[in-house]
Structure 1
Amino acid sequence: MAARLKDMPVDDSRLGDFRIDSPAEIAATLKRLADANVPLSLHAPTGISIAATLWTAEAQRGLVSFSLLPNETQLDALVECDEATVVGYLDSIRLQFDVNHLVLVHRGSHTALNAAFPGELFRFQRRSGFRVQPLVRSAPVATLRHPMIPDMQLGLRVLDVSIGGCALFLPHDVPPLDPGVLMNGVVLDLDADTRVMTGLRLQHVTSINPDSGGVRLGCEMVAPQADGLRALQRYIDQTQKRRRMLTLD
């Protein structure tokens, strides 16, 4: 069994590759999100998700404010959680940061969601950058509950993985999954040192070959834990290096 993330040694020398913790730099990055009206998704720990854009980010006031889609049905449930993970893409970079102290603000017919200014922001290379196939000896597995049959626990083989997504193998004897479904509480055990806890949204289902006995599930990661993404980036780098060494041998 892989070690839990909190028990893993973290290579602090690599945190700078991902983390922004300067208030001025965070403010500048958030301003770019607001100026470009970048679509964002806000994910609560309970699995609730809403769409929004960033309206303002004021470091001096310690405040960020989001514009919301009209008639957002899950807004009240998100506010009750009082915290959310914000995910968006700027150029070729995936941006992710946590917000808390969520407050709804009504200005006439417009509703905004205010939150405390984030203390750190993470940026990761977009999923199209690198995709690796795990080495055979590591036998990586994704553990999750079937979204349509909550009592059914699944352990699916990981076919490939990138910083923003993965492909899983679904055997023919397992009830099928529909594209678009959100799978919460997924645990990716990639090797003895790499565990990623995340949500997965199923993007597409494709056949592999007639003899495979199953289908390929192409999934996008939804609000993965930041520590897990750092571990995943290290895993991708190490797997690439090991594959190059095997090719040279």
Structure 2
Amino acid sequence: MQANFPSLGTENQSPYQVESRREIIALLRGFKEKNQLISMLINNGSEAFITSVLEVDDTNNVVTLDSAPGAEANQRIVEASQVFFDGLLDKISIQFSSSKLQRTIFENRPALQMPMPSTLIRLQRRENYRINTPLSTPIKCLIPIEVEEVQRIYKFSLVDISCGGIALLDEQRMLDITTGTRYTDCQIDLPQIGLIELNIEIRNSQDLTLLNGRTTRRVGCAFLNLSSRTLATVQRYIMKLERERNAKMTGIV
């Protein structure tokens, strides 16, 4: 099973992919032992439920999960072509998926069961770390958008950046904010670092009212198929912003 998570939208997760069966079992048991909740998403993330790991059976190679509230919801889950799971364990994001959930009974209660995942994604703190970009000199993301059958380049100000994606301000409501919408051949010029080219996927959006009464839209995007070289460039820029922020806090600059 090749994991493909709506929250990341990437096809190649090799830097973060865990394939060791022993490690996968240990991580899943960590969720159970620490009573950590997990988000369970279907229909490409349009429906989300909260679940928890009830049992990790390495002998029968299955994982038992708490069921969703309501028979109809559970039916939609077992009928879903793919179910995605996203949870935090020791502040590290753990993600996996399955296409074979089924109903079961665990300790006289309704539950869900799935095969032990053969891979999962573990995003370390650095990959999850998101930092705000400067407001005084906004960084622009250039995105090609087709309007009335003509493709034009539009500029969007970055709000923040991480190794997994970016958040943009879409004041003119130009972006299709449907979850899963993809934009290719985008560019960001990172100051003192260089130009990066990337593809992004829309993950979420939020309409905001600013202090001056104006409204804008914040759009969260995941990087798609980010090359190792581009990832390293993004990491260098995040470290640069972090150093500058720390210097300001300590009064060095």
Structure 2 matches for 1:57-206, cutoff 5 A? 57-71=56-70, 73-106=72-105, 110-126=109-125, 129-131=129-131, 133=133, 139-141=141-143, 157=156, 158-163=158-163, 166-171=166-171, 174=173, 183-187=178-182, 191=187, 193-197=197-201, 199-200=203-204, 202=206, 205=208
For the Cα contact (< 8 Å) 2:165–2:223, is it kept in 1? no
Residue in structure 1 matched with residue 218 of structure 2 by the alignment: 217
* TM-score (norm. length: structure 1): 0.64
Return the alpha-carbon distance in structure 2 between the equivalents of residues 229 and 65 of structure 1: 36
Partner of 1:38: helix, strand, or coil?
Answer: coil
Residue 104 (structure 1) shift: 1.0
Residue in structure 2 matched with residue 34 of structure 1 by the alignment: 32
Partner of 1:55: helix, strand, or coil?
Answer: strand
- Measured against aligned partners, the alpha-carbon deviations of 1:5-39 in whole angstroms (never above 9, x if no partner) come to 66xxx696xx2xx2211101110111001111111
- Residues 98-107 or 190-199, more deviating: 190-199
Partner of 1:101: helix, strand, or coil?
Answer: coil
Residue 131 (structure 1) shift: 1.9
Return the alpha-carbon distance in structure 2 between the equivalents of residues 110 and 225 of structure 1: 40
Q: Evaluate the alpha carbon distance shift between residue 239 and residue 73 of structure 1 in structure 2; reply closer, same or farther with a 3 A threshold.
A: farther
Gaps of 5+ in 1: 144-154, 176-181, 245-249
Return the alpha-carbon distance in structure 2 between the equivalents of residues 122 and 242 of structure 1: 27
Return the alpha-carbon distance in structure 1 between the equivalents of residues 217 and 66 of structure 2: 37
Q: Evaluate the alpha carbon distance shift between residue 186 and residue 22 of structure 1 in structure 2; reply closer, same or farther with a 3 A threshold.
A: same
Matching residue's letter, 1:44 = I
Return the alpha-carbon distance in structure 2 between the equivalents of residues 225 and 120 of structure 1: 20
Return the alpha-carbon distance in structure 2 between the equivalents of residues 129 and 208 of structure 1: 27
Report percent identity of matched pairs: 17
Return the alpha-carbon distance in structure 2 between the equivalents of residues 241 and 24 of structure 1: 33
> RMSD across aligned C-alpha pairs, in angstroms?
4.4
Residue 97 (structure 1) shift: 1.0
Q: Evaluate the alpha carbon distance shift between residue 217 and residue 43 of structure 1 in structure 2; reply closer, same or farther with a 3 A threshold.
A: same
For the Cα contact (< 8 Å) 1:132–1:240, is it kept in 2? no
Return the alpha-carbon distance in structure 2 between the equivalents of residues 123 and 116 of structure 1: 19
The structure with the largest alpha-carbon Rg is 2
Partner of 1:215: helix, strand, or coil?
Answer: strand
Residue 91 (structure 1) shift: 1.6
Residue in structure 2 matched with residue 148 of structure 1 by the alignment: none
Return the alpha-carbon distance in structure 2 between the equivalents of residues 241 and 231 of structure 1: 15
Residue 188 (structure 1) shift: 5.9
For the Cα contact (< 8 Å) 2:140–2:155, is it kept in 1? no
Equivalent of 1:44 in 42, 45, 49: 42
